[in-house]
Protein backbone atom coordinates (compact mmCIF):
# COMPACT_ATOMS: atom_id res chain seq x y z
CA UNK A 1 0.00 0.00 0.00
CA UNK A 2 0.86 3.66 -0.36
CA UNK A 3 3.03 2.94 -3.36
CA UNK A 4 1.80 5.64 -5.74
CA UNK A 5 1.65 4.04 -9.17
CA UNK A 6 4.83 2.44 -10.48
CA UNK A 7 5.92 3.32 -14.00
CA UNK A 8 7.14 1.03 -16.71
CA UNK A 9 10.26 1.94 -18.56
CA UNK A 10 8.33 3.20 -21.57
CA UNK A 11 5.96 5.23 -19.38
CA UNK A 12 8.92 7.06 -17.93
CA UNK A 13 10.71 7.32 -21.23
CA UNK A 14 7.72 8.90 -22.89
CA UNK A 15 6.92 11.33 -20.12
CA UNK A 16 10.48 12.61 -20.02
CA UNK A 17 11.07 12.38 -23.74
CA UNK A 18 14.07 10.07 -23.55
CA UNK A 19 14.49 6.53 -24.85
CA UNK A 20 14.32 3.33 -22.81
CA UNK A 21 17.93 2.78 -23.77
CA UNK A 22 18.81 6.00 -22.03
CA UNK A 23 17.10 4.90 -18.83
CA UNK A 24 18.89 1.55 -18.86
CA UNK A 25 22.14 3.32 -19.53
CA UNK A 26 21.59 5.68 -16.62
CA UNK A 27 21.00 2.63 -14.48
CA UNK A 28 24.33 1.17 -15.61
CA UNK A 29 25.93 4.45 -14.56
CA UNK A 30 24.35 4.22 -11.12
CA UNK A 31 22.11 7.20 -11.71
CA UNK A 32 18.91 5.22 -11.32
CA UNK A 33 18.09 2.03 -9.44
CA UNK A 34 14.48 1.04 -10.07
CA UNK A 35 12.94 -1.97 -8.40
CA UNK A 36 12.33 -5.15 -10.34
CA UNK A 37 9.29 -7.28 -10.80
CA UNK A 38 11.09 -10.35 -12.01
CA UNK A 39 13.32 -8.86 -14.67
CA UNK A 40 11.05 -5.96 -15.46
CA UNK A 41 11.97 -2.54 -14.12
CA UNK A 42 9.45 -0.62 -12.04
CA UNK A 43 10.08 3.08 -11.53
CA UNK A 44 8.78 4.87 -8.44
CA UNK A 45 8.14 8.55 -7.78
CA UNK A 46 11.56 8.67 -6.22
CA UNK A 47 13.05 7.46 -9.47
CA UNK A 48 11.10 10.12 -11.32
CA UNK A 49 12.59 12.80 -9.10
CA UNK A 50 16.10 11.47 -9.55
CA UNK A 51 15.59 11.38 -13.29
CA UNK A 52 14.38 14.95 -13.25
CA UNK A 53 17.59 15.98 -11.49
CA UNK A 54 19.69 13.98 -13.93
CA UNK A 55 18.10 15.62 -16.95
CA UNK A 56 18.45 19.05 -15.45
CA UNK A 57 22.12 18.38 -14.80
CA UNK A 58 22.47 17.25 -18.37
CA UNK A 59 20.88 20.42 -19.68
CA UNK A 60 23.32 22.38 -17.56
CA UNK A 61 26.17 20.67 -19.35
CA UNK A 62 27.36 18.45 -16.52
CA UNK A 63 28.69 15.03 -17.37
CA UNK A 64 26.82 12.01 -16.11
CA UNK A 65 29.69 11.33 -13.76
CA UNK A 66 29.42 14.81 -12.28
CA UNK A 67 25.69 14.37 -11.98
CA UNK A 68 26.17 11.10 -10.18
CA UNK A 69 28.57 12.77 -7.82
CA UNK A 70 26.03 15.46 -6.99
CA UNK A 71 23.26 12.92 -6.54
CA UNK A 72 25.46 10.83 -4.31
CA UNK A 73 26.01 13.83 -2.09
CA UNK A 74 22.33 14.71 -2.22
CA UNK A 75 21.18 11.27 -1.17
CA UNK A 76 24.03 10.50 1.23
CA UNK A 77 22.95 9.19 4.65
CA UNK A 78 24.56 10.79 7.73
CA UNK A 79 26.95 7.90 8.34
CA UNK A 80 28.01 7.83 4.71
CA UNK A 81 29.36 11.37 4.54
CA UNK A 82 32.95 10.58 3.62
CA UNK A 83 35.52 13.36 3.30
CA UNK A 84 33.14 16.32 3.59
CA UNK A 85 35.91 18.74 2.65
CA UNK A 86 36.30 17.08 -0.71
CA UNK A 87 32.56 17.29 -1.19
CA UNK A 88 32.55 20.95 -0.26
CA UNK A 89 35.27 21.60 -2.80
CA UNK A 90 33.27 19.81 -5.48
CA UNK A 91 30.15 21.73 -4.57
CA UNK A 92 32.13 24.96 -4.84
CA UNK A 93 33.36 23.90 -8.26
CA UNK A 94 29.87 23.04 -9.40
CA UNK A 95 28.62 26.36 -8.11
CA UNK A 96 31.37 28.26 -9.87
CA UNK A 97 30.43 26.58 -13.10
CA UNK A 98 26.77 27.42 -12.68
CA UNK A 99 27.54 31.04 -11.91
CA UNK A 100 29.82 31.24 -14.92
CA UNK A 101 27.08 29.67 -16.99
CA UNK A 102 24.57 32.27 -15.88
CA UNK A 103 26.92 35.10 -16.73
CA UNK A 104 27.59 33.57 -20.11
CA UNK A 105 23.88 33.11 -20.68
CA UNK A 106 23.13 36.76 -19.96
CA UNK A 107 25.76 37.86 -22.43
CA UNK A 108 24.65 35.31 -24.99
CA UNK A 109 21.02 36.43 -24.69
CA UNK A 110 21.98 40.03 -25.29
CA UNK A 111 24.02 38.85 -28.21
CA UNK A 112 21.08 36.95 -29.68
CA UNK A 113 18.89 40.04 -29.26
CA UNK A 114 21.39 42.10 -31.17
CA UNK A 115 21.68 39.39 -33.76
CA UNK A 116 17.96 39.28 -34.32
CA UNK A 117 17.78 43.03 -34.49
CA UNK A 118 20.40 43.05 -37.16
CA UNK A 119 18.56 40.34 -39.04
CA UNK A 120 15.39 42.41 -38.88
CA UNK A 121 17.17 45.37 -40.41
CA UNK A 122 18.88 43.35 -43.12
CA UNK A 123 15.82 41.29 -44.00
CA UNK A 124 12.57 42.73 -42.57
CA UNK A 125 9.91 40.30 -41.46
CA UNK A 126 6.88 39.66 -43.63
CA UNK A 127 3.68 41.26 -42.38
CA UNK A 128 1.86 37.96 -41.93
CA UNK A 129 -1.30 39.54 -40.45
CA UNK A 130 -2.00 41.62 -43.57
CA UNK A 131 -2.54 38.81 -46.06
CA UNK A 132 -6.35 38.96 -46.31
CA UNK A 133 -6.85 42.66 -46.85
CA UNK A 134 -5.50 45.41 -49.20
CA UNK A 135 -4.11 44.98 -52.65
CA UNK A 136 -7.08 42.83 -53.69
Partner DNA sequence: TGTTTAGTTAACGTAAACGTAAATTTTTCA
Partner DNA sequence: TGAAAAATTTACGTTTACGTTAACTAAACA
Which listed residue (45, 60, 63, 65) binds its own copies by CB under 8 A?
60
Residue 56 near which of its own copies, DNA, none (CB within 5-8 Å, type-dependent) = its own copies
18 or 91: CB nearest its own copies: 91
User: Residue 7 region, left (φ>0) first, then alpha (ψ -120 to 50), else beta?
Assistant: beta
Distance CA 33, CA 5 (A): 17
Distance CA 108, CA 84 (A): 35
Query: Minimum CB separation from its own copies for residue 127, in Å?
Result: 13
Q: Is 38 exposed, middle or buried (0-12, 13-18, 19+ CB in 10 A)?
A: exposed
Residue 22 near which of its own copies, DNA, none (CB within 5-8 Å, type-dependent) = DNA
Give the footprint of its own copies on residues 89-128 (CB under 8 A). Answer: 91, 94-95, 98-102, 104-109, 111-112, 115-116, 119, 122-123, 125
User: Residue 134 region, left (φ>0) first, then alpha (ψ -120 to 50), else beta?
Assistant: left
Query: Minimum CB separation from DNA for residue 39, in Å?
Result: 4
Binding site for DNA (CB under 7 A): 8-11, 18-22, 24-26, 29, 37-41, 58, 63-65
Distance CA 26, CA 43 (A): 13
Nearest one of 42, 36, 48 to 9, comparing CA atoms: 42
Where on the chain is the footprint of its own copies (CB under 8 A)? 53, 56-57, 59-61, 70, 73-74, 76, 78, 81, 84, 87-88, 91, 94-95, 98-102, 104-109, 111-112, 115-116, 119, 122-123, 125
Amino acid sequence: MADGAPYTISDLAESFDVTARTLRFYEDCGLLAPERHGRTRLYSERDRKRLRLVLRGRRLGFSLEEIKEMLDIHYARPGEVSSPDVMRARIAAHRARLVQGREDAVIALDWLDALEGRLDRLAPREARRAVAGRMG
